[in-house]
Structure 1
Amino acid sequence: MTDPLYLAELSDDMRIGESIEVTDDEGRHAAVVKRTRIGEYLLVADGAGHAIRGPVTSVSKQGVRVRVEEIRATPEPRFRWTMVQALAKGDRSEIAVESLTELGASTIIAWQASRSVVRWDARAGMPDKSEKGLAKWRSVAKASTKQSRRFLVPDVRYASSAQVAEIVERADLALVAHEDATMPLAQVELPVDGGEMVVIVGPEGGIAPDELELFASKGAQLVSLGDGVLRTSSAGVVSLAQLQLLAQLRS
């Protein structure tokens, strides 16, 4: 069984044989909720791609102490996956964030599309909900990182359509998943040298024509994911899985 993973600060000059403390919510969860025992092995990651593995040497109500037996790191990826996910109703956004994290997205953008039913931006008589919404997405991403035993927590940010266009313009390749696209995603030419890959997934009502025009003007390509129309919570996951397979086949 894979060792459980917890998140904590790690020193840059950490060495084998040293010990680290896992405290606060993470430490209390390990000690009190999971009832971790002395001698059990844990993975502890800093959320930025670095981790250690080792046995627990002490347990208290405040957390656990772990002796460093292994030092690990996530290799620098050839492709960095930025997923632009439109805000969706119910828990569909959180489902998307969870799965995209499991697949290795490095950045997840919460996009306030014009047709999004859920609104985070401030309107007349309504408060700005972006901070609360981002906190929820980040919590889901953090939990999914731990569940999937990844060492890198995705950077979760909020963006308007204009800001998404800026992200598209800076990317090495930008794609928009769209039901009317004629080019299958499988025919996309990936950058030979890798780089920043951006995938845009629209809301339940679809991406508005002016948004499509804006993204296309910045270099984004429309791609089809198949014969059917996927939910917003699954379109990004399908896109990322296909792109990662293409990257492996063409490496």
Structure 2
Amino acid sequence: MQRYFVAAEQFGDSNVRIIGEDAHHAVRVMRTKPGDKFIVSDGQSRTALVAVLEATPLFIKAEIVEMLDADSEPKWAVTIAQSLPKGDKMELVIQKGTEIGAFAFIPFQSERMIVQYDAKKEAKRIERWSKIAKEAAEQAHRSSIPEIEPVHSWRELIKSAANFDLVLFCYEREGHLAHGRGIRSAIREWTGRSDAVNDPKVLLIVGSEGGFTDREAADAEAAGAILVGLGRRILRTETAGIVGLTCLLYESGEMGGA
């Protein structure tokens, strides 16, 4: 069933309004007409099954048929911190990460990133990334839309680590035979600690195409991050975050893990 996110002020006690691009999409693309039903969420606490009363490309009015439980969000709030990759790879990370269950995304600058950072262009890209997250959240029947934070410098990212209960730093060396600490062992060590919380805020840090430097790894470890590998194979930057997120949610029991 089709799903749309609306601003809180569009969500009334008995009726819901759909406006702008969503109304145009519903009428012109989905051929929505009076009597049709779909799901609407305010991205916070309210999700409802609604029935269309009026439908135009500019405005849709729908009555609330039934309030629904918003139970599609993972208990572990995982934020993917992704060093800026080249091309449109960040779009893939956000789209698939949102579908899987990421809570938020932090694009950041690292020493070995290939792209040339341009603040003016990034502002427009963040707007596009937010739209991709919204569409992916609708497709996946999420109850909320992941936030796309402004581009962080490396120092800003490291400073933000203090806001999380668990920080995992994906480091190529940890996947080699000489090291070998993976997400499973790191999580099991962490959950065994006396200060571990049940529903943690987790930061998953992923490097760019060039990977991380030893200095960045040392910075992350000094900030409390656990260095982890994602296996013995070398993953593309746009794959690493998706794999790491999936592993995290599996280990938390979100995807059938024990």
Shift of 1:146: 1.3
CA distance in 2 between counterparts of 1:72 and 1:118 reads 43
8 Å CA contact 1:112, 1:119 repeated in 2: no
Post-superposition Cα deviations, 1:24-59, rounded to whole Å, max 9, x if no partner, equal: 111121112221122221111223353211221221
Counting only pairs closer than 5 Å after superposition, residues 85-104 of structure 1 correspond to structure 2 as 85-104=82-101
Shift of 1:80: 1.1
- Residue 51 of structure 2 corresponds to which residue in structure 1? 55
SS at match of 2:131: helix
SS at match of 2:38: strand
Provide structure 2 residue ranges, at least 5 long, that are not aligned to the other structure.
none
> Which shifted more, 165-174 or 99-108?
165-174
1:165 aligns with 2:165: no
The CA RMSD measured in Å over matched residues stands at 2.1
- Residue 151 of structure 1 corresponds to which residue in structure 2? 143
Provide structure 1 residue ranges, at least 5 long, that are not aligned to the other structure.
123-127
- Residue 139 of structure 1 corresponds to which residue in structure 2? 131
Post-superposition Cα deviations, 1:143-177, rounded to whole Å, max 9, x if no partner, equal: 11111111211010121111110122221110011
- Residue 245 of structure 2 corresponds to which residue in structure 1? 240
CA distance in 1 between counterparts of 2:109 and 2:81 reads 10
Aligned-partner residue type, residue 238 of structure 1: V
- Residue 30 of structure 2 corresponds to which residue in structure 1? 34
Q: TM-score, normalised by structure 1?
A: 0.89
8 Å CA contact 2:171, 2:217 repeated in 1: no
- Residue 5 of structure 1 corresponds to which residue in structure 2? 3
Shift of 1:63: 2.5
Shift of 1:192: 4.3
- Residue 230 of structure 1 corresponds to which residue in structure 2? 235
Shift of 1:214: 1.1
Aligned-partner residue type, residue 5 of structure 1: R
Aligned-partner residue type, residue 109 of structure 2: Q
> Which shifted more, 32-41 or 5-14?
5-14
